[in-house]
Homo-oligomer: A and B are copies of this chain.
């Protein structure tokens, strides 16, 4: 059995390395889970004892297969709950994360799988993140960053990299939502801003914004 705290560390390690494959540093984990490096060292030893992580002193931490599966199960639950909150309970995409952080730790295989079925097996969460299946597998993101879309071409907004509510609220305010068709009109070398066009209007987005928008073509 993994504790709530262990699960949060597993997620952090998973997200920091590529699926937990490459060793990540103590400090990086500490920042992600909002704790201190010394706390991370303690926890990481515990994960290694439980065969969830590979840990060599001073050399970083990676996940074992067991750890990776545990991490993806938590991520699967997180994203399914986010879909539930948005699709069934009228939450908006900037309100779901905090609640999903709690729901992801509820233990019941039946619960996850029935929820999955109830939601009709969604493949992506409200931010465009892929939902792993029971075995932790998911098809890789096929969307491309908006900077890599040629001038004059269009695509469908299908993933936002940053899903903090600050950014999501910016998108709400500017009427940009997942599923919207966006055309790239112009690129400005001076500040790396882009001029884009949606169904409803034309607008300029900053480099910071553009970096977080991904389109499927």
A106 within 8 A of B: yes
Q: List 17 contacting pairs A-B, 8 Å CB cutoff, sorted by A.
A: A88-B118, A89-B111, A89-B114, A89-B115, A90-B114, A91-B114, A95-B110, A98-B108, A99-B108, A99-B110, A99-B111, A102-B106, A102-B107, A102-B108, A103-B103, A103-B106, A106-B106
Q: In the bound complex, do residue A91 and residue B110 qualify as a contact, i.e. CB atoms below 8 Å apart?
A: yes
A85 within 8 A of B: yes
Residue of B nearest to A107 (CB): B102
Provide the bound-state CA to CA distance between A114 and B98, in Å: 16
The 3 closest A-B pairs by CB, nearest first: A89-B114, A102-B106, A99-B108
Residue of B nearest to A95 (CB): B110
Provide the bound-state CA to CA distance between A115 and B118, in Å: 15
Q: Count residues of A near B (Cβ-Cβ below 8 Å).
A: 18
List A residues 97-138 near B (Cβ within 8 Å). 98-99, 102-103, 106-108, 110-111, 114-115, 118
Provide the bound-state CA to CA distance between A174 and B196, in Å: 66
Minimum CB–CB distance from A175 to chain B (whole Å) comes to 23
Residue of B nearest to A89 (CB): B114
List A residues 41-99 near B (Cβ within 8 Å). 85, 88-91, 95, 98-99
Provide the bound-state CA to CA distance between A165 and B111, in Å: 17
Q: In the bound complex, do residue A89 and residue B107 qualify as a contact, i.e. CB atoms below 8 Å apart?
A: no
Q: In the bound complex, do residue A111 and residue B88 qualify as a contact, i.e. CB atoms below 8 Å apart?
A: no
Provide the bound-state CA to CA distance between A110 and B91, in Å: 8
Q: What residues on B are CB-neighbors of A110 within 8 Å?
A: 89, 91, 95, 99
Minimum CB–CB distance from A190 to chain B (whole Å) comes to 43
Q: In the bound complex, do residue A89 and residue B118 qualify as a contact, i.e. CB atoms below 8 Å apart?
A: yes
Minimum CB–CB distance from A137 to chain B (whole Å) comes to 23
